[in-house]
Chain A
Amino acid sequence: MSNNDVQTNRVELNLKDVRGAFWRWMFFCHSCYNYELYQGMGITHALSKAMSKLYPNRAQLGKELSKHTIFFNSATHTGSIIHGAVLAMEEERANGAEEITPELINSIKSGLMGPLAGLGDSLVQGVMVPILLALGITLTESLGVAGPLIYTALISIVVLGLAYVFWMQGYKLGTEAIGKIINSGLMKNILGAAGILGCIVLGGLVSNYVSITTSVYLPLSTGNFVLQTNFLDKLMPNLLSLATTMGVYGLVRKGVKSNKILLGLFIIGAILGFLGILGPVPVFE
């Protein structure tokens, strides 16, 4: 088959096919999430319908799909830029671009999935979710039912919007441009900026939502000396919360498993609570 023949018989994907593949990914990427291939079949299934248009012959379709049935794991939203780009590559390959080999497609998938998962998880789960949750909590305290609903609406728009834009951009830009973006200073700058924003907000969250206090007091002849209000609060308000958070942060940084820390907090909390060291601040008169 010569190149000219191919061009006259070119099979094109339309917007509906590309969007269809996007929704298949968003709905079914984790429908059979497993320890063997993770999202490997999620991406295969997402692309399958559009690829059946490129390869009407069933045996041929199976052969082309088989390159995707390997391990894959990335963020559902930012990772979708890979799938958009892969779909564009599959379209070119079906139209005779022989330089696009299965090996090339898979090396792009496995090369990009890690960095994009890191970007997406930091931006969305590390920064956007805590900020919007804090907003939702504030609104719940003042408005009631509207708080959780507003949080749900906002985070859904962010996640779906991000995923859709990334998918469509991947399809349009192709892999070369994506590689350039990932390796450019821009992405490192965005991650760095997100890190600063995230840290500032987390500091605010610790101040707002952690309130560890001691119930220790000394009955002196001059009156009761309450450790929390008469000493710690004057030293620094909410000192125990900040100190505990930094202590736990130190353990997490050292690589202590989170379930071990959780168990430790249970035991320490129970003991210090029973002994009356931690607990509500005693109030006298």
Chain B
Amino acid sequence: MTVFQAVLIGFVYYFANSAWNASLGLYTLYRPLLGGLIVGVIMGDIETGLAMGLRIQFIFMGFMSTGGSMPSDSTLAGLLGTALAIMLRPTLGDGALDAALSMAAAIGVLGTFVFIGRMTWNTIFIQKAVDAAHRGDLKALFRWHVTIPQLVLATVTIIPITVFLLTVGNENILNQINQAIQFALIPLSVIGKLLPTLGLAITLNAIGKRNTIPFFFIGFVLSQYLKLDIIAITILGVSVAFLVYFGFNPFNKMKMQTPEDITVDQDDDWS
């Protein structure tokens, strides 16, 4: 791990959270699938980058950030987890992927402090931005709303990530990590297999209602027993959803169904 590579990974993390990605960071760089590839390119091991990106992505399959909350930092988990896997793989072999996966999940939890910290210290700058807006001073508004918060965010993300990667990338520390996790490889891989259920359950809870849960089991059976791939399931899902909500009554095609006509449950409470 060279200083340049470490800084570059730190910069990718900053960029994902910065103002310069047109609000696409949450949908692109936050996803370990892409983060893994980028770290793979930076560290010159695209194969491990892709493999690790996939594994960490499974954990964060159902990652949702709503209402100004950050359940877990999938960006940091994806970037640092992949970097660890690439560093450990030469000595640990494929076991490195399982070990780095559990570390990635833990890193994701720690990463939420970056979000909480940023939401907190920005309350200081926002006062200045409000004052600038009240004066009609657009230059000062840009300074306090964009320039300064972004400079601070870049500093507190890029420097710690660089230091972390250079510390962990040290040969002695890598050897210690190797020895420490050697005996725990199976439990670590079990944890890695349990974690995806959480994200999927959170998403199911967010979009599913009492009367749509049966469709979850239909999707499971279509995939597990009938071996349909996800594209086929999506096409079936779109068709069924359309039929239920827009095409149920063939004699009244033009009239849109109102929810009262078809929705059975009045309350979403399941208890």
**A66 CB contact (under 8 Å) in B134, B197, B257:** B134
Instruction: Say yes or no: A199-B208 contact (C-beta < 8 A), given A145-B50, A207-B224.
Output: yes
Residues from 58 to 94 in A contacting B, C-beta threshold 8 Å? 58-63, 65-66, 68-69, 73, 76-77
Would B193 and A122 count as touching, CB distance under 8 A? no
Shortest distance from the beta carbon of B191 to any chain A beta carbon, whole Å: 4
**A155 contacts chain B at the CB level, 8 A cutoff:** yes
Would B187 and A273 count as touching, CB distance under 8 A? yes
Residues from 138 to 188 in B contacting A, C-beta threshold 8 Å? 138, 141-142, 144-146, 149-150, 184, 186-188
**B19 CB contact (under 8 Å) in A28, A69, A279:** A28
Residues from 241 to 271 in B contacting A, C-beta threshold 8 Å? 241-242, 244-246, 256-259, 263, 270
Digit string of A142-175 for contact with B (CB within 8 Å is 1, else 0)?
0011011101100110011001000000000000
Shortest distance from the beta carbon of A277 to any chain B beta carbon, whole Å: 9
- With most chain A CB atoms within 10 A of its CB, the pick from B190, B192, B222, B234 is B190
Interface size class of A (residues with CB under 8 A): 35 or more
Would B219 and A189 count as touching, CB distance under 8 A? no
Interface size class of B (residues with CB under 8 A): 35 or more
The distance in angstroms between the C-alpha atoms of A127 and B241, with both chains bound, is: 12
- The interface residues of chain B lying within 8 Å CB-to-CB of A203 are 215-223, 233
Shortest distance from the beta carbon of B75 to any chain A beta carbon, whole Å: 14
- The interface residues of chain B lying within 8 Å CB-to-CB of A259 are 71-72, 109
The distance in angstroms between the C-alpha atoms of A204 and B222, with both chains bound, is: 7
Would A196 and B215 count as touching, CB distance under 8 A? yes
**A224 contacts chain B at the CB level, 8 A cutoff:** no
Would B217 and A138 count as touching, CB distance under 8 A? no
**A265: nearest chain-B partner, CB-CB:** B194
- The interface residues of chain B lying within 8 Å CB-to-CB of A209 are 58, 61, 196
Would A73 and B68 count as touching, CB distance under 8 A? yes
The distance in angstroms between the C-alpha atoms of A210 and B223, with both chains bound, is: 12
Digit string of A189-205 for contact with B (CB within 8 Å is 1, else 0)?
11011111111111111
Instruction: Say yes or no: A202-B219 contact (C-beta < 8 A), given A32-B126, A61-B136, A121-B64.
Output: yes
Instruction: Say yes or no: A196-B240 contact (C-beta < 8 A), given A133-B33, A204-B219.
Output: yes
- The interface residues of chain B lying within 8 Å CB-to-CB of A266 are 102, 105-106, 191
Q: Which of A1-9, A33-41, A98-106 contacts B (4 or more CB under 8 A)?
A: A33-41
**B125 contacts chain A at the CB level, 8 A cutoff:** yes
- The interface residues of chain A lying within 8 Å CB-to-CB of B205 are 249, 252-253
Would A245 and B197 count as touching, CB distance under 8 A? yes
| Interface contacts beyond A245-B197, A279-B190: sample of 6 additional A-B pairs, CB < 8 Å, sorted by A | A32-B145, A36-B123, A151-B31, A192-B245, A193-B244, A201-B219
Q: Enumerate the 9 nearest inter-chain pairs by beta-carbon distance, A residue then B residue, closest first.
A: A203-B219, A273-B187, A62-B136, A269-B191, A34-B122, A273-B190, A31-B19, A207-B223, A61-B136
